[in-house]
Chain A
Amino acid sequence: MNFGAIWTIYIFEMRRFFRTITQSLVSPVLSTSLYFVVFGAAIGSRIDEVEGVSYGAFIVPGLIMLSVMTQATSNASFGIYFPKFIGTIYELLSAPINFLEVVAGYVGAAATKALFIGVVILITAFFFVDIKIAHPLAMMVFLVLTCVSFALLGFIIGIWADNFEKLQLIPLLVITPLVFLGGSFYSITMLPPVWQTITLFNPVVYLISGFRWSFFGEADVAIGVSLFAIALFTGVCLAIIWWIFRTGWRIRQ
């Protein structure tokens, strides 16, 4: 393993994050605060408690997940797409490193950025609503796993994309709808039975449910199922990356 190279990529990517700190950190925090104001305060004041928790507090895990998933995906996809776009990828291909080391550097950095944003949003949430975290360790495990798995997904998207439009396609058309429909802002038990069944096909439901359980001790689906779902998702992403590594798909001609 060329740990020096992994670290070099990681630091290089993190520097981009800090160089564009406004865009990287302030904008997700600002948009999440707006969600709190609109959904939590304005609309939430007219909604009863959900599963024994005030609506403002109920949406906190979902909001964090929304940001973390989209940030992990877009940071990782941009991170690897940009060198392809400007041509600096030649350096990665001609260096004595293998593809998995490249993945570790980019995915590690993207996951760190997303984790950072997630934690900042959580801290922001304390200013708006009264929340307690029932299982802090489980909360961190879910958060880290989500950051890593979605960064892996983002990396795959970045390799697949051959233009900027494709780079945005999956986050906008797939991830955002799945997160919104995955119970970020409501409990799936509030849906009619048919929709409850349909919703169970949305993988994001399991992530949000598990994450919410770590806050309030209540979940839409069993915690074991949630853990299995996120492990499965991570496994599928790793398998695709392994395949890309074996075939050199869209990287090495």
Chain B
Amino acid sequence: MSAIVSVQNLRKAYAGGFEALKSVTLDIQEGEILALLGPNGAGKTTLISTICGITVPTSGTVTVGGHDTQTAFRAARSLIGLVPQEINLEPFETVMNSVRFSRGLFGKPRNDAYVEDVLKQLSLHDKKDNKIMTLSGGMKRRVLIAKALSHEPRVLFLDEPTAGVDVELRKDMWEVVAKLKASGVTIILTTHYIEEAEAIADRVAVINKGEILLVQDKADLMAQMGQKQLRIELTEAADTVPAALAGYDLERAHDGLSLTYSYDSTGERTGITTLLNDLQKAGLQMKDIQTQQSSLEDIFVGLVKETA
């Protein structure tokens, strides 16, 4: 796999001095789904807008399909479809005309069969002659996706596609994304919903305050999440971890009143039974036992807190 979108040292500072992006470097592989996670104001939309040409970078470069977005903007932009966060649509136009317009802007010849196909995929076909102002919010969001797909892009940016969308429609949207991926489209989506990243992404990037904090395969992240902790509270403080328990790599709390054991909950042998036996043999009195599982949310909150 090669990078279809390559962002190098991208910086964006606004006239007031606010630095929305601080030297962002990110490679997006062809055919993957990358979820860009971050709190409000983290720079997600600025990053997307800069890649798509809506905002001009202060410094740094972006290439799409090997074409520089500044010097070869036509070639670069013709590969990109953008679904913005806000529902920005001409209210008085029909769905069909609006989607045709988007296709035309990319210089593509009129192809109603293709456009109708896109509308069918998005369950919009029966609304094709309706004026956009008569559609529900969820339908309008689908129109935005149809417009972005109208010119057969190879890279699709979805800026918070499921913000304010009900659970049912969100699941539909995920299905659409999965179908697009199957057809070879590279997808970058921003979201605050961690479950969304968990459900559909191949890789997850976390951004905060204009900096990329982490880019990792979702599978690796999930493996980290598979880690569980067993916390054993003791009736009496232990000054040290008894030598007999050294093999368990226990973590002793500062006050000595609890010990934490990390294990892989997906493993065949977790080692819990032997640990509990050995604890008893070592003469430690247990007061309580708890288990904890770290989620993507914990990782995310931890990362974002560190930069706060």
Contacts and interface: CB of A to CB of B under 8 A. Distances in A.
A and B assemble together: yes
Interface stretch (B80-88, B161-169, B172-180, B266-274): B80-88
A252 interface: yes
A175 B107 CA distance: 36
A96 B55 contact: no
Interface residues of A, number: 28
Interface in B48-78: 52-56, 73-78
A8 B104 contact: yes
A127 to B, nearest CB: 33
Interface string A212-253: 000000000000000000000000000000000000100011
A195 interface: no
Interface string A1-35: 01111011101100110010000000000000000
A116 interface: no
Contact of B107 (A5, A12, A88): A5
Contacts of A87: 84, 86, 88
A86 B88 contact: yes
A92 B73 CA distance: 13
Nearest to B147: A91
Nearest to B89: A88
A96 B74 contact: yes
A96 B106 contact: yes
Question: Could you tell me the dominant secondary structure of chain A's interface residues?
Answer: helix
B55 A253 contact: yes
A95 B88 contact: no
Contact of A253 (B14, B86, B88): B14
A164 interface: no
Interface stretch (B90-98, B185-193, B200-208, B292-300): B90-98
Interface in A66-116: 83, 86-88, 90-98
B82 A94 contact: yes
Interface of A: 2-5, 7-9, 11-12, 15-16, 19, 83, 86-88, 90-98, 248, 252-253
23 contacts: A2-B107, A4-B104, A4-B106, A4-B108, A4-B109, A5-B107, A9-B104, A12-B101, A15-B97, A16-B92, A86-B88, A87-B84, A87-B86, A93-B52, A93-B54, A94-B54, A94-B82, A96-B75, A96-B106, A97-B107, A98-B73, A252-B55, A252-B56
Given A4-B107, A86-B90, A253-B55, 16 more contacts: A4-B106, A5-B107, A11-B104, A12-B97, A12-B104, A86-B88, A87-B86, A88-B89, A88-B90, A91-B105, A91-B147, A95-B77, A95-B102, A98-B73, A252-B54, A253-B54
The 6 A-B residue pairs with the shortest CB-CB distance, nearest first, are A8-B104, A87-B88, A96-B74, A4-B107, A95-B105, A96-B77
